[in-house]
Amino acid sequence: MTLGKEMLKQSDFYHVGIITHDFEGTLVRLSRQMGLSWSPVIQVPVPLWTRDHGMIEIQSCAVYSQQEPCIEIVRAIPGTPWVPVEGRPLHHLGYWTDDLAATSAALEERGCPKVLCAWANDQMFGMAYHQMPDGMYVEIVDRASFADWPAFLSGRMEHEVILPD
């Protein structure tokens, strides 16, 4: 999909996301069946804007496979877009972006509404989810939100959510 100046480039694709109610069980099954190992768990409070509920604060819980392209496992959060979608085992595709606001605006201009984003101090930061016309989600993630992605994946550093000023 070409988005003009800002585009989703396959070179920026880095994960597929799976949402599950059985977080630990999913990790165990995928480790055993596919030989995957996991990043440290990201478990942090995040202020979110959602299309359906406005502002909420959630406790996120996610991991990434250390093998790339990554598989992200996210614990389901009822009342948000982070719930399993019936008949669709993959929930979203994840892309890095160097300009979160511009990429988000470009997706919206092309009929892919924003349904969720991290929001603090009157601004979007970190990541946003957009819904494609077929219902699939695309997550765009500010590349700067992970200072050293390989170090995070290997467990040499923890992920820290830094709120905008």
In DSSP notation, the chain reads ---TTS---GGGEEEEEEEES-HHHHHHHHHHHH---BPPPB--EEEEEETTTEEEEEE--EEEBSSSSEEEEEE--TTSS-S-BTTBS--EEEEEES-HHHHHHHHHHTT--EEEEEEETTEEEEEEEEE-TTS-EEEEEEGGGSTTHHHHHHTSS--------
Q: In 3D, which of 148, 130, 147, 149 has the Cα closest to residue 139?
A: 130
Q: What does the domain layout of the chain look like in residue ranges?
A: 10-154
pLDDT for 164 = 66
Residue 147 has pLDDT above 60, yes or no: yes
- What is the spatial order of strands in the sheet that 45-50 belongs to? 54-59, 45-50, 114-120, 123-131, 137-142, 92-97, 13-20, 70-75, 62-64
Say if residue 5's pLDDT is above 60.
Answer: no
- What pLDDT was estimated at residue 145? 87
Task: Say how far apart CA 51 and CA 58 lie, in whole Å.
Answer: 15
pTM of the model: 0.89
Q: Are strands 137-142 and 123-131 parallel, antiparallel or unpaired?
A: antiparallel
Instruction: Give the type of residue at 78.
Output: P
Whether residue 1 has pLDDT greater than 50: no
Which is higher by pLDDT, 24 or 4? Answer: 24
Mean pLDDT in the chain?
90
Q: How far apart are CA 128 and CA 52, in angstroms?
A: 14
Q: Domain 10-154 has what CATH class?
A: alpha beta
